[in-house]
A and B are shown apart, each in its own frame.
Chain A
C-alpha cells in the first residue's frame, strides 16, 4: 500500500516539477531594446520562397531583402536595387547595390536574385509565389550587380512583380542540398538572409527571436531584438498588449478601438488598407443576377456609408470601383453608386420585378475571414430587403467557402475581400474580372481585351487611358456590389514608434523606441 501511494505521489511530484521550469526568455524583463510583435498566427516557414501568407511574409521582411519596397503611399522605392529601367521592349534591367552582404559575410549578387526567382518558377518547388514571376521568361546576369528580367511579350513592369521576391543566398542553399529542381527543406528552419535582423531561435507557435544585424547595409536597426509571439485570439492579443507582454498587435477588432486609443499604455494605429470588400454577382450561373439592370439596382439599394459607420465603427472608405484610390490604374472619373432606394425600385421594376416581387436571392458570406464579414452581409441583406425583394444570408466557414469560390459555385452573389499589395490595377482586374480567371464569375470579351492590353502597355498615360475605359465598363456592368476599402487597425505600446501600412506589412527596421 505504501509503495502504491508513494508511486502516485512521485508521479505527481514529477509532473509538478516539470511544470516549474525556468521561464522562457520572453519580453517581460528583457532589455528596453526588445520589441515583441503579436500577430494572429506564427510564421509557417523560414523559407521565404514558398508562401504568401502575410504574417509569415512580415517575419521574412525582417530577415531578407527585396529589390525594391513600397513606401507608405504605395510608391516603389529603391532597396537592394538602386535603379531600374526598360532596356528593350521585353527586357527590364535592375542595378544592385554593391554593399549588401548576407549574415555570413557573403556578398549579395545578381546570381542570388536569379537563383531566388528560378526556385520560385520551378514547378517542383510548389511555391505559392509563382504568380509573382509569371511574366518572367528567363533571367540574365550580365555582371554580379546587374540583373535582367526577360519577358515573352513587352510588359508593363507591374504585370508580374518579381521585385517582391525575397533574395536568398544561392551558395548557402546549394551547400545544404538545395538547388533549382532539388529541395532539401533545410532552409525551412535555418534561414540565411541579408536583412536587418539575424535569425536567432524559433520555438514554433511560441516565439521567434531575431537580433539586429550590426552590419546591415541600411544601417543598424534601432531595435536590438525582435520577438514574434503569436496570439491567435484577438481578445487575448488586446489583453497581452495592455499587460505589456507585447508591443504591437495586428488585426484589432473595431470594438476595442476606444479602449486601446484611451489606454494609459496603449496607442491605436490605423492605415487605409489595400483590401477591398465586395459582393460579386455570379453572372455565369442562371438567375436575375445575369441582368445588368438588377445588378445596378442593388448597388443603388445599399447604403455603404451607413454600413461603414455602424458595422465598422467608421473604419472604412466607400469605393466606386474595384481599386483603392492610391493604385496605379485608379480612375477618379468613376462615380459612386449613391444610396437611392427609389431609383433602385424603379430599376427593378424596369427589370421585371415591380416592388421587388419575385426577386429572391441568397447572399453568401464567410465568417471569420475578413473583419466583420458576417455582420456586413447581414446589414446588406437588411438594406436589400427594403427593395421589396427577398434576400437571405448563407454564412459558411471559410475553408468550405473558399472551395466554392474556386469552383465558381457560389451563386447568385457572394462576399469576398481582395488585398492586392502590388498597388497596381493588373492583379485585381486580371484575377477577378477576366473570363478565364479562376475567381472571376463575370465574362466580357471587351473587358478581357482591355485588361490584357493594359498589362502589356508600357506607356504610362496610354495604360491609364485603357484602365479608365475598363473601369467605366465595370461600373456600368456592375458585376459587384461595390462596398469599401477597410481601414486596418493595429495597436502598440506607447513606447513604440511605428507607422501602420495599408498593405498589412510590418517593417521592423523602421521601428524605434521612445
Chain B
C-alpha cells in the first residue's frame, strides 16, 4: 500500500506540473491581458507601461521560470484585476463550490441509487419506464435551461426558494437540484444496468436456489457487487460536477471558484486562472486517489502493492 501511495504521489506531481505548464502556455499564447485590462482610451505608452510593470514584456521562458519559482513557494502573484494575491482569492471561494458540488453529489446518490435498484428489480414495469424517461430528461436537458426553468417555477411563480446568492439551506436547494440532475440521471442508469448485470449472474441464482431471503440476496449479494462501477463513476462525477458548476454558479450567482475562473478567463487575469487550474488539478488527483482507496476497501479482491 505504501508503495502504491508513493507511486501515486509521484504521478500526481507530474500531473500538476504538466497542468501548470499547459495552462501557462495556453494563457500566454492566446492574448494580451493589456488589451483587456487597460481602458480603451489608454495610450500606447500606458499600455507598454502596464506590460512592463506586470513583466509581460520579458521573454516567455523568463516569465515561466519566474512563475514556476514563485508558485513552488506558494506565491501565484497578484490578480491583475483585483490587485490582491490570487491564491487567497481562489481559496476563499473554494468552500462555496465544494458545498454545492458535494450537496449535488449527495442528492444525486440519494435519489439515483434507490430508483436505479428499483428499476432493475422491477424491470420493464411502469416504475422502470418512468425512471428511464427521467434519466433521459436529466441527461439531455441543458443545465442552463433547467436552471432558468427552476428559477421561474419555484422562485418567481411559487416563491418557495430564493433565486440567487448563498445563504441557508433554502438558497442551496435550486442550485443543488440543477447541478445534480445530470449526475442523478447518469448514476440511475448505471445503477440499473449494473444491478441487472449482477442479478443475472450465477452466484445470485445459487443464492436464490439456496433459499436465501430475496432482500438479503438483493442487499448482500447483488448490491455490494453492483456498487463497484457506481463508486468509480461517483468519483469521476464529482469532477464533472465541479466543471458543470461554471453554469450553475453563474445562473444562481453562487460565489464559487468556477465563477471566479470564468471571469478571470474573460479578463485574461493570468494569476487567477493559473492558480484555479492548479488547485483543481490537485483536487482531482486527490479525488481519484480516494476513489481507488475506497474501491479496495469495498472489494476485498483488490489489493494495492
Could you list which residues of chain A lie within 8 angstroms of chain B, going by C-beta atoms? 4, 12, 15-16, 18-24, 26, 28, 38, 41, 44-45, 47, 50-52, 123-124, 126, 128-131, 134, 185, 188-189, 203-207, 229-233, 235-237, 239-240, 242-243, 245-246, 398-400, 402-403, 405-407, 418, 427, 430-431, 436-439
A126 near B50 with CB under 8 A, answer: yes
User: B148-181: contact bitstring with A at CB < 8 Å (1 yes, 0 no)?
Assistant: 1001100110010011111111111000000000
Q: Select the stretch in B82-90, B130-138, B235-243 that faces chain A.
A: B82-90
Q: Which of B11-19, B98-106, B189-197, B207-215 contacts A (4 or more CB under 8 A)?
A: B98-106
Binding site for A on B (CB under 8 A): 30-32, 34-44, 46-47, 49-50, 53-54, 78, 81-84, 89, 92-93, 99, 102-103, 106, 148, 151-152, 155-156, 159, 162-172, 250-253, 255-256, 259-260, 263, 265-268, 297
Q: For B92, list chain A residues within 8 Å (CB).
A: 204
- Pair A24/B165 contact, Cβ less than 8 Å: yes
- Docked Cα-Cα span, A370 to B211, in Å, equals 71
With a CB–CB cut-off of 8 A, which chain B residues contact A131? Answer: 39, 41-43, 46
Listed by A's residue number, 15 A-B pairs whose Cβ atoms lie within 8 Å are: A4-B297, A12-B106, A15-B106, A44-B81, A126-B49, A131-B43, A204-B92, A204-B93, A235-B148, A235-B151, A236-B164, A240-B253, A243-B163, A406-B47, A438-B42
Contacting pair A19 B35 (CB below 8 A): no
How far, in whole Å, are A418 and B40 apart by their CA atoms in the complex? Answer: 9
Given contacts A44-B81, A128-B42, A400-B31, contact A233 B250 (CB under 8 A): yes
- Interchain nearest-CB distance for B243 vs A (Å): 17
In the complex, the answer to whether A23 meets B171 with C-beta atoms within 8 Å is yes
Q: Bound state CA distance, A12 and B109, in angstroms?
A: 11
Most interface-central of A26, A205, A245 (chain B CB within 10 A): A205
Asked whether A205 lies within 8 Å of B39 as measured between CB atoms, the reply is no
Is B156 touching A47 in the complex (CB atoms < 8 A)? Answer: no
The answer to whether A243 touches B162, judged by C-beta atoms less than 8 angstroms apart, is yes
Would you call A243 and B159 a contact (CB within 8 A)?
yes
Q: Is the CB of A431 within 8 A of B93?
A: no
Cα A405 to Cα B167 with chains together (Å): 42
**What A residues does B93 contact at CB under 8 A?**
204-205
Which of A128, A246, A405 counts the most chain B CB atoms within 10 A? A128
CB distance from B245 to the nearest CB of A (A): 13
Please tell me which one of the listed residues B35, B43, B49, B260 contacts residue A134 in the complex, with CB atoms under 8 A apart: B43
Residue of B44, B170, B172, B263 near A438 (CB, 8 A) is: B44
B155 CB to nearest A CB, Å: 6
Which residues does chain B contribute within 8 Å of A26, judged by CB atoms? 162, 165, 167
Q: Let me know if A245 and B164 touch, CB within 8 A.
A: yes
Let me know if B151 and A19 touch, CB within 8 A: no
The distance from the CB of B6 to the nearest CB of chain A, in whole angstroms, is 25
Q: Indicate if the CB atoms of A399 and B155 lie closer than 8 Å.
A: no
Which chain A positions have C-beta within 8 A of B43?
Answer: 131, 134, 437-438
Query: Which residues of A sit under 8 angstroms from B78, Cβ to Cβ?
Result: 185
A249 to chain B, nearest CB (A): 11
* A19-B37 contact given A203-B255, A235-B151, A239-B152, CB 8 Å threshold: no
Question: What 6 A-B pairs come out closest when comparing CB atoms?
Answer: A205-B255, A23-B168, A406-B35, A23-B167, A206-B255, A231-B253
Query: Which residue in chain B gives the minimum CB-CB distance to A430?
Result: B41
Residue of A nearest to B84 (CB): A188
- For A407, the chain B residues whose CB sits under 8 A away are 35
Report the separation of the CA atoms of residues A28 and B92 in the bound assembly, to the nearest whole angstrom: 25
Rounded to whole angstroms, the CA-CA distance of A28 and B297 in the bound complex is 47
Closest CB of chain B to A235's CB: distance in Å? 5
Kindly report which residue of chain A lies nearest to residue B92, judged by CB atoms. Answer: A204
B166 to chain A, nearest CB (A): 6
Is B162 touching A28 in the complex (CB atoms < 8 A)? yes
Apart from A24-B165, A188-B83, list 9 A-B contacts with CB within 8 A.
Answer: A19-B99, A47-B83, A126-B49, A128-B38, A204-B89, A205-B93, A205-B255, A231-B165, A231-B253
Report how far A425 CA is from B122 CA in the complex, Å.
75
Contact assessment for A185 and B41 in the assembled complex, using a CB-CB cutoff below 8 Å: no
- B165–A19 contact, CB under 8 A? no
